[in-house]
Protein backbone atom coordinates (compact mmCIF):
# COMPACT_ATOMS: atom_id res chain seq x y z
CA UNK A 1 0.00 0.00 0.00
CA UNK A 2 1.44 3.37 -0.97
CA UNK A 3 0.68 6.08 1.59
CA UNK A 4 1.29 9.80 1.07
CA UNK A 5 4.67 10.69 2.57
CA UNK A 6 3.16 13.53 4.64
CA UNK A 7 0.84 11.12 6.51
CA UNK A 8 3.63 8.75 7.60
CA UNK A 9 6.45 8.71 10.11
CA UNK A 10 9.91 8.48 8.48
CA UNK A 11 11.79 5.20 8.67
CA UNK A 12 15.55 5.31 8.04
CA UNK A 13 17.19 2.52 6.05
CA UNK A 14 20.53 1.07 7.17
CA UNK A 15 22.91 -1.18 5.24
CA UNK A 16 22.23 -4.85 5.96
CA UNK A 17 24.82 -6.38 8.31
CA UNK A 18 24.68 -9.69 10.19
CA UNK A 19 25.04 -7.94 13.57
CA UNK A 20 22.31 -5.34 12.99
CA UNK A 21 19.90 -7.92 11.54
CA UNK A 22 20.48 -10.57 14.26
CA UNK A 23 17.32 -9.71 16.30
CA UNK A 24 15.20 -10.50 13.21
CA UNK A 25 17.00 -13.45 11.61
CA UNK A 26 20.13 -14.30 9.64
CA UNK A 27 21.90 -12.59 6.76
CA UNK A 28 22.92 -14.91 3.93
CA UNK A 29 26.04 -13.93 2.04
CA UNK A 30 28.80 -15.78 0.25
CA UNK A 31 31.90 -16.22 2.41
CA UNK A 32 35.15 -14.79 1.09
CA UNK A 33 37.08 -17.98 1.86
CA UNK A 34 36.79 -21.39 3.46
CA UNK A 35 34.30 -24.06 2.67
CA UNK A 36 35.36 -27.48 1.54
CA UNK A 37 36.42 -28.77 -1.82
CA UNK A 38 33.85 -30.89 -3.69
CA UNK A 39 33.39 -32.22 -7.22
CA UNK A 40 37.00 -33.21 -7.62
CA UNK A 41 38.20 -29.81 -6.43
CA UNK A 42 36.21 -27.88 -9.06
CA UNK A 43 33.87 -26.29 -6.53
CA UNK A 44 33.72 -25.26 -2.88
CA UNK A 45 30.77 -26.01 -0.61
CA UNK A 46 29.69 -23.61 2.13
CA UNK A 47 27.08 -24.93 4.55
CA UNK A 48 25.36 -21.71 5.63
CA UNK A 49 22.42 -22.82 7.83
CA UNK A 50 21.55 -26.27 9.07
CA UNK A 51 17.97 -25.67 10.26
CA UNK A 52 15.51 -23.32 8.59
CA UNK A 53 12.83 -24.15 11.21
CA UNK A 54 10.11 -25.18 8.76
CA UNK A 55 8.74 -28.35 10.38
CA UNK A 56 6.43 -26.91 13.08
CA UNK A 57 2.86 -28.26 12.99
CA UNK A 58 3.70 -30.79 10.28
CA UNK A 59 5.29 -28.22 7.98
CA UNK A 60 7.76 -28.92 5.22
CA UNK A 61 10.12 -26.83 3.11
CA UNK A 62 8.76 -25.17 -0.02
CA UNK A 63 10.88 -23.48 -2.67
CA UNK A 64 9.19 -20.67 -4.58
CA UNK A 65 10.23 -18.02 -7.08
CA UNK A 66 9.00 -14.43 -6.66
CA UNK A 67 9.32 -12.24 -9.76
CA UNK A 68 9.31 -8.75 -8.27
CA UNK A 69 8.84 -5.37 -9.87
CA UNK A 70 11.03 -2.56 -8.60
CA UNK A 71 9.28 -0.44 -5.98
CA UNK A 72 9.40 3.33 -5.96
CA UNK A 73 10.60 5.24 -2.92
CA UNK A 74 9.49 6.87 -0.73
CA UNK A 75 7.23 3.90 0.01
CA UNK A 76 4.45 3.83 2.59
CA UNK A 77 4.33 0.99 5.11
CA UNK A 78 0.88 0.49 6.58
CA UNK A 79 0.74 -3.31 7.03
CA UNK A 80 3.12 -5.98 8.29
CA UNK A 81 2.96 -9.78 8.26
CA UNK A 82 4.57 -12.66 10.13
CA UNK A 83 4.94 -16.42 9.85
CA UNK A 84 4.85 -17.78 13.40
CA UNK A 85 5.37 -21.44 12.47
CA UNK A 86 8.43 -21.14 10.27
CA UNK A 87 11.18 -19.01 8.86
CA UNK A 88 11.01 -17.28 5.49
CA UNK A 89 14.09 -16.88 3.29
CA UNK A 90 14.64 -14.38 0.45
CA UNK A 91 17.64 -14.81 -1.86
CA UNK A 92 18.06 -12.71 -5.01
CA UNK A 93 18.94 -14.47 -8.27
CA UNK A 94 21.69 -12.30 -9.69
CA UNK A 95 22.46 -8.93 -8.17
CA UNK A 96 19.13 -7.61 -6.94
CA UNK A 97 18.93 -5.17 -4.06
CA UNK A 98 15.92 -5.09 -1.79
CA UNK A 99 14.79 -3.24 1.31
CA UNK A 100 13.59 -5.37 4.21
CA UNK A 101 11.36 -3.73 6.82
CA UNK A 102 11.12 -5.76 10.02
CA UNK A 103 9.90 -5.71 13.63
CA UNK A 104 10.76 -8.10 16.45
CA UNK A 105 8.69 -11.23 17.00
CA UNK A 106 5.99 -10.85 19.62
CA UNK A 107 3.26 -8.24 19.79
CA UNK A 108 2.26 -6.64 16.52
CA UNK A 109 4.15 -3.43 15.73
CA UNK A 110 2.18 -0.21 16.03
CA UNK A 111 4.30 2.51 14.43
CA UNK A 112 7.61 3.40 12.78
CA UNK A 113 9.27 3.34 16.19
CA UNK A 114 8.75 -0.44 16.29
CA UNK A 115 10.32 -1.00 12.86
CA UNK A 116 13.80 -1.34 11.41
CA UNK A 117 14.70 -1.20 7.72
CA UNK A 118 17.76 -2.52 5.90
CA UNK A 119 18.94 -2.49 2.30
CA UNK A 120 20.94 -5.37 0.85
CA UNK A 121 23.99 -4.94 -1.36
CA UNK A 122 22.32 -6.99 -4.12
CA UNK A 123 24.15 -10.22 -3.29
CA UNK A 124 22.78 -10.76 0.21
CA UNK A 125 19.71 -12.71 1.24
CA UNK A 126 17.90 -12.98 4.57
CA UNK A 127 16.29 -15.67 6.68
CA UNK A 128 13.52 -14.17 8.78
CA UNK A 129 13.25 -15.95 12.12
CA UNK A 130 9.84 -17.50 12.90
CA UNK A 131 7.47 -14.82 14.18
CA UNK A 132 9.46 -11.84 12.87
CA UNK A 133 7.11 -9.16 11.55
CA UNK A 134 8.02 -7.93 8.07
CA UNK A 135 6.72 -5.95 5.14
CA UNK A 136 6.20 -7.56 1.76
CA UNK A 137 9.24 -7.73 -0.53
CA UNK A 138 10.43 -4.24 -1.48
CA UNK A 139 12.63 -4.88 -4.51
CA UNK A 140 14.92 -2.00 -5.42
CA UNK A 141 15.96 -3.85 -8.56
CA UNK A 142 13.32 -5.78 -10.50
CA UNK A 143 13.91 -9.48 -10.93
CA UNK A 144 13.70 -12.94 -9.47
CA UNK A 145 14.05 -13.98 -5.85
CA UNK A 146 14.16 -17.52 -4.47
CA UNK A 147 11.90 -17.86 -1.44
CA UNK A 148 12.08 -20.80 0.96
CA UNK A 149 9.21 -21.00 3.39
CA UNK A 150 7.02 -23.39 5.33
CA UNK A 151 4.23 -25.24 3.57
CA UNK A 152 1.62 -27.19 5.49
CA UNK A 153 -2.03 -27.64 6.37
CA UNK A 154 -2.02 -24.84 8.96
CA UNK A 155 -2.10 -21.35 7.44
CA UNK A 156 0.94 -19.46 8.70
CA UNK A 157 0.48 -15.79 7.84
CA UNK A 158 -0.73 -13.18 10.31
CA UNK A 159 -1.33 -9.60 9.16
CA UNK A 160 -1.46 -6.40 11.17
CA UNK A 161 -2.19 -2.81 10.23
CA UNK A 162 0.08 -0.19 11.72
CA UNK A 163 -1.83 2.33 13.84
CA UNK A 164 0.61 4.97 12.61
CA UNK A 165 1.95 4.22 9.11
CA UNK A 166 5.62 4.74 8.27
CA UNK A 167 7.41 5.78 5.12
CA UNK A 168 10.62 4.25 3.81
CA UNK A 169 12.47 7.18 2.32
CA UNK A 170 15.40 5.35 0.77
CA UNK A 171 17.33 7.37 -1.76
CA UNK A 172 19.74 4.70 -3.05
pLDDT at 5 over 60: no
pLDDT of residue 8: 83
Q: Which of 15-19, 32-36, 133-137 has the lowest mean pLDDT?
A: 32-36
13-15 vs 116-119, strand pairing mode? parallel
For residue 99, whether the previous peptide bond is cis, meaning omega lies within 30 degrees of 0, is no
Does the pTM surpass 0.85? The reply is yes
- Chain centroid offset of residue 89 CA: 7
Q: Are β-strands 138-139 and 98-103 bridged in parallel, bridged antiparallel, or unpaired?
A: antiparallel
User: What mean pLDDT comes out for the span 74-101?
Assistant: 97
Average pLDDT over residues 78-89: 98
Q: Is the pLDDT of residue 6 over 90?
A: no
Judge residue 141's burial from the number of C-beta atoms within 10 Å of its C-beta, 0-12 exposed, 13-18 middle, 19 or more buried: middle
Homologous superfamily in CATH for domain 5-168: Ureidoglycolate hydrolase (2.60.120.480)
DSSP code per residue over 79-143: EEEE-TTS-EEEEESSS--EEEEEE-SSSPP-SGGG-EEEE--SS-EEEEPTT-EEPSPEESS-E
**Beta pairing class for 9-11 and 158-168:** parallel
- The average pLDDT across 109-124 equals 97
Report the C-alpha gap between 9 and 66 in whole angstroms.
29
| Sequence spans of domains, the chain | 5-168
Amino acid sequence: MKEPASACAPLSVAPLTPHAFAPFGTVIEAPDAGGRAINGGNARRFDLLDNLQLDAAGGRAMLALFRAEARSFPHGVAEMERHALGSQTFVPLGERRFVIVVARAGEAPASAGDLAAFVTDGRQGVVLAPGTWHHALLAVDAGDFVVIERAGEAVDCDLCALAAPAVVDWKG
